[in-house]
Chains A and B, each alone.
Chain A
Amino acid sequence: MTKEEKPVPLTKLPDVCVRCATCMAACPVSRVTPRFPGPKQAGPGAQRFRSAAEASVDDWIDLCTGCRLCDTVCPAGVPISEMNMMAKAKYLDERGRTFRDWLLVRSDLFGEMAARYSKIVNPLLKKKVVRWLLDALLRIDRRRALPAYEHPTFRRWFRTRQAPKGGGPEVAYFYGCFTNTNETDVGKAAVEILEAHGLKVVVPPQRCCGIPRLGVGDLRRAREMGRRNVDFLLRTVRGLDIVFSSTSCGLMLRHEYGPLLHLPGAEELARRLFDICEYLLGLHEEGKPAATFQPIPLKAAYFAPCHLRSLDIGLPALELLRRVPGLDVSLVEAECCGLGGLYGFKKEKFAIAEEIGKDLTEAIARMKPDIILTDCEGCRMQIRHLTGLKVLHPVQLLRDALERQGEEIHRVPVESFNYLG
């Protein structure tokens, strides 16, 4: 990829595009629906027809999932997904957003509450009548299972747990909302595996990264949330590296806070941010004190999320997993799971998300794995939904493979996700 040195203003990006249409072949959405004209047409193509002074007409822009595969393949280095984001923001700013979108992007606010009352909330969310009501009133598709809440939250668990004795270099952990309230075991596994590598984990104050806001083109609020996080993270961890286990949160922190949202301090923060597997692999490769793994005789399929590929760090999880003896792990040959975060929950987009996911379902069916591993919670939800198989974060399996001194128990991967089928 030949990125231009100086950032080119949005209005000039049609000049940078060479119209090769590689992105048109990579876009999962235009592959399954003619209603989305594809990245080249919706991005640099449409830009020549837009006027900042006039109301936008491109309603199809809301069909972009924000997977960023177009950016990944563009040989000219056009930030196509950013163009789409700006167009979506303008379109939705003018047309207004639905109550559903207002509610969904605030999941970080009611998540803690829902987790506390998970014993009441979870059975409720499972009920057909509730799902039907959510579908009819809010247009949240009833065919989509909703994630269950877990109590206590990861944050509470971390605060109240018996921290291991001893020093070691410190590392900060950004867990993300979903890990905090819906998949706490991912957070626990992350902490354990970091500690097994001789690190002392600190959890700085943090808020929702704001990526759900980008999904509904609300740049202003995304920026507000980002600003708070930059403040928290820079102030408390200056000098420390920060690892994240949620690919999309990480992408938001590392790539959107700066180039898209222009938050002060974002560049300094980005230099300190690492995907957890990227970080661990670095320790292994640099010959730093690293944990060793005991054999796990399983056939695993690893899926590389779109946002991970956007991070441009290769596939560190896959490389780490290959260090686990006995684990037969191979890469799922599919582009995108289709969920697109909150996208696939929306009634009008459910069918698109399903259709995109077909490739992935077929690829997994061919592989017949015992277990599927992927870094992104959205992908995990979608793959569970599409295949009914067990899907974990790579760190959960790595944690289970840890060779502990004095422990000879062979641990099998836990069923960690309380899934509302």
Chain B
Amino acid sequence: MDLQTEVLIIGGGATGTGIARDLSLRGIPSLLVEKGDFTSGASGRNQGLLHSGGRYAVNDPDAARECIAENRILRRIAPHCIEPTDGLFVSLPEDGPEYRANFIRACGAAGIDTLPLSPREALAMEPRLSPRIIGAVQVPDGAIDPFTLVVENARDAESRGARILIHTEVTGLIRDGLRIAGVRVRDRITAEAFAIAATWVINATGAWANHILRMAGLQIGLALSKGSMLITNTRLSERVLNRCRPPASGDIIVPNDTVSILGTTSLRAEDPEHYEVTPAEVTFLVDELSRMIPDLKGERFTRAYAGVRPLLQSEGTNDDRTISRGFALIDHGSCSGPAGLVTITGGKLMTYRLMAEKTADFICERMGLHVPCSTHVQRLPGAGHGHTLKDRLLRLRRQTPAAKGEILCDCELVPREAVDAILREGKVRELQDILHRTRLAKGTCQGGFCVYRLLGLLNERSKADHRGGSNRILKGFLEERWKGIRPVLWGRSLKEEELIESIYKGLFNLTPAEPGGPGGGEA
């Protein structure tokens, strides 16, 4: 199978799918390839924070202005992906009143609304905050669901003519003299290899940018920064909580749906594929964030995860926190590289739409087209179909067999119907694809009790047996799950884990995969 397209996009994160959507709205055909599923990279491994820009207001005013502008746009175009919680910048005695004054001034200059709060007012709003606080400032932060955001960008692009291939990995670039004329790809599930011819190849692979560029003998200055995060079992606060101090590690708590996400760290990484959350990071995050919420140490954590930020490197900076969160669009043809290859990287989830806009603007300009961007006004298809926690809780009412309200995931109240709908669409190819598109296995038990129900459903649909059956899928899932829960496995989580382990090992007779062996023993 060989394919052809006008614009080939590599990377199914927020930026890649954002570009596909932008181009499709301008009537330009594109094809997107992603080696895993959507949001496999940093788009799915961040804190889910809808920045107001406050975090950058003092040190990086340009980034702050970009954030608040995109914040307002995203609230308009993707209201169903956003929880408008607002955020507090909380000052502890050690943070001092000076930074707070600077902060309010800088927010004003960047156009970010602020509402200064007394300690008493802040504590009334967020009772779990430390009584030591000396003040707080409210800003329009929020929580964002990057999974829905990316999937909807992709769906909208597809409905407007874009083509998307997930689990399709780029194995090489096709050169035609001084031009890049396309890519060679391989389907990671069927192992089928084929070529895609394209006029333009856009490298929107984030932390993998240099991995693609190396195929053309190129390299850009990109620092990889690992950020680790912890997830609690319940929501700790109603609002985003930030420390009111220069951006540092361990200073943000984001309420996200039923849980809160604590972050982050910033450690240099060599490889975007292989990294883990270290015990030192877990200890650091819990210690540091318990300054804001003192009883954090008794909290039940359900998972730890990390993502790798692609940071554009200027010379002579060693502290990754001081590197600008700005993005770069590089036309390799105009800087002694092959023509037809463009890299867009750096930036952050907040600016994905702007990054897509600038990339599409550039492509249009080169193609001699004058079609303006409309992604800042065109709402995403699912807008207006949000599910608040209350709506989800009401699913318990429809649990009767007659109402087909069977619930697969008890912790997150994911109904069978939601998974059925995804399967009917026919786009998912792996278990993790389903997990990216629902909140299944994202709750307290992390899938310990619901994944076998899901496998039962997949078996019914004969989706499970094309790669060696449910057993193999289950083992793969449990290995992934273990990576996430192991760093935070103590106290109450450990009790539940013992029970889950006894179910899989004792009842299902599942044996661990042998090191190096394929799949291990069969149950």
Contacts and interface: CB of A to CB of B under 8 A. Distances in A.
B399 A48 contact: no
A14 B396 contact: no
Contacts of B300: 12, 15
Contacts of B413: 45, 49
Contact of A37 (B399, B448, B449): B399
Interface stretch (B138-146, B492-500, B512-520): B492-500
Nearest to B443: A48
A40 B396 contact: no
Contact of A48 (B233, B396, B492, B496): B233
Interface string B414-455: 000000000000000000000000000001110011000000
A12 B396 contact: no
A127 interface: no
A369 to B, nearest CB: 37
B392 A45 contact: no
A269 to B, nearest CB: 31
B397 A60 contact: yes
B233 A45 contact: no
B495 A45 contact: no
Q: Looking at chain A, what size class is its interface with the partner chain?
A: 20 to 34
B234 interface: yes
B218 interface: no
Interface stretch (A51-59, A149-157, A358-366, A396-404): A51-59
Interface string B328-349: 0000000000000000000000
B234 A12 contact: yes
A51 B392 contact: no
B390 A45 contact: no
A49 B445 contact: no
Interface string A24-55: 00000000001101001110011111110110
A47 B399 CA distance: 18
Contacts of B394: 57
A46 B400 contact: no
B94 to A, nearest CB: 28
B389 interface: yes
A11 interface: yes
Given A19-B410, A19-B444, A51-B389, A41 B234 contact: no
A20 interface: yes
Nearest to B398: A34
B340 to A, nearest CB: 50
A59 B397 CA distance: 8
A41 B393 CA distance: 10
A19 B411 contact: yes
A18 interface: yes
A234 interface: no
A35 B448 CA distance: 26
A20 B234 contact: no
A20 to B, nearest CB: 6
Contacts of B299: 15
B258 A58 contact: no
Interface in A134-156: none
A16 B401 CA distance: 30
Contact of A14 (B233, B238, B407): B233
Nearest to A46: B393
A35 B405 CA distance: 11
Contacts of A12: 234, 300
Given A19-B410, A49-B258, A54 B495 contact: no
B234 A53 contact: no
A18 B396 contact: no
A49 B390 contact: yes
B444 to A, nearest CB: 6
B445 A19 contact: yes
Contacts of A35: 397, 400
A49 B492 contact: no
A76 interface: yes
B390 A48 contact: no
Contacts of B499: 18-20
Interface string B471-515: 000000000000000000000100110010000000000000000
Contacts of B396: 37, 41-42, 46, 58, 60
A332 B448 CA distance: 37
A40 B400 CA distance: 17
B400 A48 contact: no
Interface in A64-102: 76
Contact of A76 (B389, B397, B400, B495): B495
Interface string B294-306: 0000011000000
Contacts of A60: 396-397
A20 B400 CA distance: 22
Contacts of A42: 396
A19 B238 contact: no
A17 B496 CA distance: 8
Interface of A: 11-12, 14-21, 34-35, 37, 40-42, 45-51, 53-54, 57-60, 76
Given A14-B233, A17-B444, 14 more contacts: A14-B234, A15-B233, A15-B234, A15-B492, A19-B448, A35-B397, A41-B407, A41-B410, A46-B396, A48-B444, A49-B392, A57-B390, A57-B393, A60-B397
Shortest 6 CB-CB contacts between residues of A and residues of B: A15-B300, A34-B400, A49-B393, A18-B496, A37-B396, A49-B389
24 contacts: A11-B234, A12-B234, A12-B300, A14-B233, A14-B234, A15-B233, A15-B234, A15-B299, A16-B492, A17-B444, A18-B492, A19-B410, A19-B411, A19-B445, A34-B399, A35-B397, A37-B399, A42-B396, A45-B413, A50-B389, A51-B389, A57-B394, A58-B396, A76-B495
